[in-house]
């Protein structure tokens, strides 16, 4: 072993020996790891390199040439992968610049403000473009969630309010369409152990055939409800969930959207990143943070954090009751004007 006392600090010989030892002790083992077990980050395949990352992390530090194959693969993938945009929310989509694999998004907003409605719309938009979606709905049962999807696909109520009759034709068309697209639902509801959720997610990524590309978990509080004996325990559970979901996103080429309720605040209060419930772990670990803002006379869909694209901003939104969809509105448009204009064009305020 080279000892500092045996050489003269700052000498060219010492620096040369130290550099040689560093290369032999650190770079060579990592290069052997990369050679023996090729990095695999192709779409739909589990990242076998996750174990490589763990092996590398046990070493004190590495040179760039140990990371270069991974960096090259990720850059090449970012250039060739097709960026999907939300056709129903074009301005919001341009800010977001698409959902990217290996990322975790936190979505928050006041209770009853339309988070699930917005996520159903986004998931359908992506799914209709061929994105494989897996829903984990812990607050709303799957049949009720599917009803929202069917109404959005039909773009009309499935029960005629005037005659109180079932819209058989519209339902059949929407039902057939929903059955044809790659939309899947976790067979879970209510309070569910984190390990059960993670096992379900991992199983979906390991089965033969197409794997999910977008996983939605709605929501963290309902999933963990009743599992902590004190507020301290609940915070620890939430942090553990965030850490594990972050690790899952890093290990598999999938995007995860996690709904987290905000802290208890006054109604119609403007929310920030610090408003997300729990410790700061959720927003620190997240790559993106979306907030559905509910203000006294308007609502916004806002991007508060966008780690790898960097574009932040907000889009004013309205609601179309007949289709249960949100629509983008012009910022200068007054709520009263929106309410009296064509609902199919602009929507109304919530």
Is there a single domain that holds both residue 118 and residue 73? no
Is there a single domain that holds both residue 238 and residue 327? yes
- Whether pLDDT at 8 is above 60: no
Decide if 347 is inside a domain: no
- Decide if 4 contacts 18 (C-beta within 8 A): no
Is there a single domain that holds both residue 242 and residue 101? yes
Is there a single domain that holds both residue 267 and residue 191? yes
Is there a single domain that holds both residue 187 and residue 267? yes
- Global pTM reads 0.77
Decide if 295 is inside a domain: yes
Is there a single domain that holds both residue 204 and residue 330? yes
% of the chain at pLDDT higher than 70? 75
Is there a single domain that holds both residue 178 and residue 309? yes
The predicted-structure confidence for 256-310, as pLDDT tens digits, reads as follows 999 999 987 767 789 999 999 888 899 999 999 999 999 988 999 999 999 887 6
* Pairwise CA distance, residues 209 & 217, whole Å: 22
Decide if 37 is inside a domain: yes
Is there a single domain that holds both residue 106 and residue 65? no
What's the rounded mean pLDDT across residues 238-254? 95
Which of 41, 60, 80 marks a domain boundary? 80
What's the rounded mean pLDDT across residues 180-184? 97
Decide if 350 is inside a domain: no
Burial state string for 234-248 with b = 16 or more CB within 10 A and e = fewer than 16: beebbbebbeebbeb
Is there a single domain that holds both residue 182 and residue 278? yes
Which of 52, 80, 108 marks a domain boundary? 80
Q: Is the peptide bond before 278 cis (omega within 30 degrees of 0)?
A: no
Decide if 285 is inside a domain: yes
The structural domain count of the chain equals 2
Is there a single domain that holds both residue 266 and residue 324? yes
Is there a single domain that holds both residue 59 and residue 134? no
Which of 45, 80, 115 marks a domain boundary? 80
**For residue 211, what are the contacts with CB-CB under 8 A and spacing of at least 6?**
44, 132, 204, 205, 252, 254
Decide if 175 is inside a domain: yes
Decide if 346 is inside a domain: no
- Whether pLDDT at 16 is above 60: no
What's the rounded mean pLDDT across residues 331-349? 45
For residue 313, the enclosing domain spans 90-340
- Decide if 289 contacts 273 (C-beta within 8 A): yes
The CATH number given to whatever domain includes residue 255 is: 3.40.50.300
* Pairwise CA distance, residues 66 & 34, whole Å: 8
Q: How many residues does the chain have?
A: 350
The predicted-structure confidence for 138-148, as pLDDT tens digits, reads as follows 999 999 999 99
The predicted-structure confidence for 158-173, as pLDDT tens digits, reads as follows 998 888 899 999 999 9
Decide if 345 is inside a domain: no
Is there a single domain that holds both residue 197 and residue 64? no
């Amino acid at each position: 072993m080279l000892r500092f006392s045996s050489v003269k600090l700052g000498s060219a010989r010492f620096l040369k020996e130290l550099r040689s030892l560093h290369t032999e002790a650190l770079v060579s083992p990592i290069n052997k790891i990369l050679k023996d077990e090729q990095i695999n980050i192709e779409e739909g395949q589990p990242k076998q390199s996750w174990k490589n990352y763990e092996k590398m992390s046990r070493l004190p530090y590495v040179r760039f040439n140990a990371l270069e194959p991974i960096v090259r693969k990720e850059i090449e993938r970012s250039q060739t992968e097709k960026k999907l945009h939300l056709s129903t929310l074009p301005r919001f989509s341009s800010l977001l610049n698409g959902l990217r694999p290996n990322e975790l998004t936190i979505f928050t907003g006041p209770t009853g403000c339309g988070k699930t409605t917005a996520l159903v719309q986004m998931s359908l938009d992506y799914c209709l473009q061929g994105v494989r979606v897996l829903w984990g709905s812990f607050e709303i049962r799957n049949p009720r969630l599917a009803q929202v999807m069917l109404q959005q696909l039909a773009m009309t109520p499935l029960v005629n309010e005037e005659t109180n009759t079932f819209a058989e034709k519209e339902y059949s068309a929407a039902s057939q369409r929903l059955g044809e697209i790659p939309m899947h639902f976790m067979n879970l509801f209510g309070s569910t152990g984190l390990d059960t959720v993670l096992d379900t997610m991992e199983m979906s990524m390991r089965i033969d055939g197409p794997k999910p590309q977008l996983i939605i978990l709605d929501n963290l509080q309902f999933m963990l409800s009743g599992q902590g004996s004190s507020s301290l325990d609940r915070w620890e559970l939430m942090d553990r969930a965030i850490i594990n979901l972050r690790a899952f996103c890093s290990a598999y080429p999938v995007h995860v959207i996690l709904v987290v309720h905000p802290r208890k605040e006054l109604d119609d209060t403007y929310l920030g990143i610090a408003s997300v419930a729990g410790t700061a772990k959720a927003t620190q670990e997240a790559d993106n943070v979306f907030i559905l803002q509910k203000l006294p006379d308007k609502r916004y869909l806002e991007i508060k954090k966008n780690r790898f694209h960097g574009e932040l901003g907000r889009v004013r939104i309205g609601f179309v009751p007949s289709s249960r969809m949100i629509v983008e509105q012009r910022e200068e448009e007054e709520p009263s004007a929106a309410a009296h204009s064509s609902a199919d064009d602009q929507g109304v305020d919530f």
